[in-house]
């Protein structure tokens, strides 16, 4: 009787080792002093669906990994293949977007009272703004992601502005939505009445030209189509590029 019980326990253990697949048939055989064929027979004869159990076991391990882990990290942690990882994450609702959001917050320091939370990832060397992934032309800066994750889509042509005037800050309480005009209003309050605008047939307003020049100066790697998008104007990139370089709107002082 005892022997049967021990055998049962041994077989159970063998099945466990097989389903978790930490060991090969040979390795298990060596431990219990039986052939690899016998190990196979035991697992087959048990009626246990080894493949299914192993899958369930791996799925559980995959879901126990933090959401921000990369595929490679999960593969290493669980020993699962990337197809199973993908399938498991997908069925659990862990989409690329969910992972991206989780990874975003890894770069955001803990909230400390009303202090700025400066982006811990890449900072644009000139503007000092934090950069994250490039999802679309108007969604690549960390402070804009911060707004997006908290409040949803940023209305077209709107800017995410800093109350604290600290470009790397992504503290949601320090950010607010404004137009390009709001962005430059306080800085350009004393500006002259524009001539270009008064000519009547101009596509851009003085404010927009100033904003475009400021944007390009602070973010030299922005393309002209991106600037058009950020400004929310109905103009060709060429129009904006000429206004920025001073081919048009010559009378407006260049941003220094």
Among 138, 171, 179, 202, binds Zn ion (CB under 5 A): 171
The torsion angles phi and psi of 187, rounded to 5 degrees, stand at -80, -30
Residues 109-128 that bind Zn ion (CB under 5 A): 116
The residue among 23 and 172 lying less far from Zn ion, judged by its C-beta, is 172
Tell whether residue 169 is a contact of Zn ion (CB under 5 A). Answer: yes
- Establish if 166 lies at the interface with Zn ion (CB under 5 A): yes
Burial class (CB in 10 A: 0-12, 13-18, 19+), 26: exposed
Cα torsion for 65, 105, 120, 181, to the nearest 10°? 160
Q: Please compute Rg for the chain using Cα positions.
A: 30
Tell me the closest approach of the beta carbon of residue 111 to Zn ion, in angstroms.
11
* CA 56 – CA 19 distance, rounded (Å): 9
Site for Zn ion in 59-118 (CB under 5 A): 116
Q: Of 61-69, 151-159, 167-175, 238-246, which part binds Zn ion (CB under 5 A)?
A: 167-175
CA angle 96, 98, 104 (to 5 degrees): 100
- What distance in Å separates the CA atoms of residue 201 and residue 203, rounded to the nearest whole number? 7
Question: Which residues on neighbouring strands pair with residue 229, listed in sequence order?
Answer: none
> Smaller CB distance to Zn ion: residue 164 or 253?
164
Among 106, 164, 185, 253, indicate the residue that binds Zn ion (CB under 5 A). Answer: 164
When binding is defined by CB under 5 A, the residue of 18, 143, 174, 213 that contacts Zn ion is 174
- C-beta of residue 29 within 8 angstroms of C-beta of residue 36: yes
Is position 183 an interface residue for Zn ion (rule: CB under 5 A)?
no
Minimum Å distance from CB 116 to Zn ion?
3
Q: Is 219 an interacting residue with respect to Zn ion (CB under 5 A)?
A: no
- Report, in Å, the least distance between residue 65 CB and Zn ion: 33
Give contact residues for Zn ion (rule: CB under 5 A).
116, 164, 166, 169, 171, 174
């Amino acid at each position: 009787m005892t022997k049967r019980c021990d055998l049962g326990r041994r077989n159970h253990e063998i099945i466990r080792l097989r389903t978790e697949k930490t060991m090969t048939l040979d390795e298990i055989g060596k431990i219990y002093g039986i052939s690899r064929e016998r190990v196979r027979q035991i697992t087959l004869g048990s009626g246990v669906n080894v493949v299914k159990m192993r899958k369930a076991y791996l799925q559980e391990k995959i879901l126990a990994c933090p959401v921000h882990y990369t595929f490679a990290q999960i593969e290493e942690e669980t020993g699962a293949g990337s197809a199973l990882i993908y399938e498991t994450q997908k069925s659990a609702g862990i989409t690329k977007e969910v992972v991206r959001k989780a990874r975003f917050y890894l770069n955001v320091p803990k909230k400390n009272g009303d202090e700025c939370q400066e982006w811990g990832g890449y900072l644009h060397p000139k503007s000092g703004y934090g950069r994250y992934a490039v999802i679309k032309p108007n969604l690549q800066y960390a402070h804009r992601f911060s707004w997006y994750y908290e409040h949803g889509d940023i209305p077209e042509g709107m800017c995410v502005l800093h109350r604290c005037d600290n470009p790397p800050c992504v503290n949601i309480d320090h950010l607010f939505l404004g137009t390009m005009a709001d962005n430059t209003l306080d800085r350009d309050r004393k500006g002259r009445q524009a001539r270009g605008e008064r000519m009547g047939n101009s596509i851009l307003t003085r404010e927009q030209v100033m904003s475009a020049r400021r944007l390009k100066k602070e973010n030299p790697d922005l393309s002209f189509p991106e600037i058009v998008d950020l400004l929310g104007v109905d103009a060709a990139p060429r129009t904006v590029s000429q206004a920025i370089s001073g081919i048009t709107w010559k009378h407006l002082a260049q941003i220094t």
